[in-house]
Structure 1
Amino acid sequence: MIAAFFISYYKMSWIHHKSIVMGGLVAIGFDRANHYLLAVSHSGRGLFKLESGERIARDYEDWAGRAWYSPDDNRCEGIGPLQNETFDIVGLHGGVAYEEAANGMLKCRVERNEYAWRALITREGIDEEICSDEEDLKGVALSRDGKWFVVGISSEIEIYRNTAA
């Protein structure tokens, strides 16, 4: 009975929060304070407030060959109010955006097979599948504080919120 409660408690902790439609997604990453999400696409960058999903800033420069985007070390300069911040990003060129969060209490990973992928969060040895799909996965990112989990596919970004954080 205790194990069943434990599993159901954690199953209920992640909820879908927002969807952002964005074609040509290249990479995603969180700001250091875990309040914003930076999205890089083939047509520029967008900065989104995580709580509301509101777009705060936008530019329209293609990422290819730009000084603000570094696929070699998976970093990107911010825009708008965070133009002086460098974001660690994950996406088309690889990268790992915070596989562990909340002092190692949460870990994220992606499992793939030839047909689909699924994103999982592990807490205290128990896996919770957050989402799965057959779309072209660009990257997953877990915020440093463990409150946000973001999945980027080629046509959109899905934001999940940890209600237990």
Structure 2
Amino acid sequence: MPTSHLNPLREIINQCQTSQPPSPWELAGEYTVAGLYDVGFDRDSELLLVSSSSGLGLLDCETGEKIARDASDRALTDRFLECKGIGALENKTIRMAGIYGGSLPSTTPDGWSTETVTLKWPEHHLLLFKPGSWLHGAECNLPSSFHKLAIESEVRAFGFSYSGQTLVIATSGDVVIYTRHG
């Protein structure tokens, strides 16, 4: 690794252990989803549409429940990174993030944020920052300002719902959902 002013930051991130996010975040659910393509949130709720090689699924992130499933071949996201909803989202078009591109919101209205840092490809360190902190900012008191949630090699999407009440990590085979209330 070349010598640079970023080496101390790299070392801090590399040495931090993975952990669950801090309060008020709570684990709402962990799902195995083989062949996951992409995920997308409804703009008006905490419903998450999941697209995979075996169809579409709909998760209620407030309760952690699977609420709908469609095993048809409709799971493909179109060229605009949108997918037709199922179940409670049947009449909606959902913006997707995953293997084909796109992204979930990376900040919440009250200041929580996510960063994906690649120190050694293909490992992506998934970081959650507390309000008022950021990776390269003077106010960032590393490492107490962030939590390393995971190290993943096939990240499809990492970010928040539009309300900022749900945090999702989607990989090629899993979806992990954290939620908070209030």
- Count of residue pairs brought into register by the alignment: 150
Q: Is the 8 A contact 2:61 2:179 kept in 1?
A: no
Q: Counterpart of 2:26?
A: 15
Q: CA deviation at 1:111?
A: 1.3
Q: What is the identity, as a one-letter code, of the residue corresponding to 2:24?
A: S
**In structure 2, distance between residues paired with 1:154 and 1:45:** 14
Q: Is the 8 A contact 1:99 1:108 kept in 2?
A: yes
Q: Counterpart of 2:105?
A: 98
Gaps of 5+ in 2: 1-20, 135-144
**Which of 91, 97, 122 matches 1:84?**
91
Q: What is the identity, as a one-letter code, of the residue corresponding to 1:153?
A: T
**In structure 1, distance between residues paired with 2:107 and 2:152:** 25
Secondary structure at the counterpart of residue 100 of structure 1: coil
Greater strand percent: which structure?
Answer: 1
Q: Counterpart of 1:158?
A: 176
2:143 is the counterpart of 1:125: no
The structure with the larger Rg is 2
Residues 107-163 of structure 1: CA deviation (Å, up to 9, x unaligned): 322112314212223321254225112342111131122111001111110001235
Q: Is the 8 A contact 1:25 1:153 kept in 2?
A: yes
**In structure 2, distance between residues paired with 1:27 and 1:40:** 5
Secondary structure at the counterpart of residue 88 of structure 2: helix
Q: Is the 8 A contact 1:118 1:129 kept in 2?
A: no
Cα distance, 1:106–1:34 mapped onto 2, change above 3 Å: farther
2:154 is the counterpart of 1:136: yes
Deviates more, 1:27-36 or 1:121-130: 121-130
**In structure 1, distance between residues paired with 2:65 and 2:160:** 19
TM-score (norm 1): 0.79
Q: Counterpart of 1:37?
A: 48
Q: What is the identity, as a one-letter code, of the residue corresponding to 1:17?
A: A
Q: Counterpart of 1:6?
A: none
Q: What is the identity, as a one-letter code, of the residue corresponding to 1:161?
A: T
Q: Is the 8 A contact 2:55 2:71 kept in 1?
A: yes
**In structure 2, distance between residues paired with 1:130 and 1:73:** 32
CA RMSD of aligned residues (A): 2.2
Secondary structure at the counterpart of residue 56 of structure 2: strand
TM-score (norm 2): 0.72
**In structure 1, distance between residues paired with 2:33 and 2:156:** 12
Q: CA deviation at 1:96?
A: 1.4
**In structure 2, distance between residues paired with 1:152 and 1:118:** 13
**Which of 92, 101, 108 matches 2:114?**
108
Q: Counterpart of 1:146?
A: 164
Deviates more, 1:125-134 or 1:77-86: 125-134
Residues 46-82 of structure 1: CA deviation (Å, up to 9, x unaligned): 0111122221111112357x5xx31x32211110121
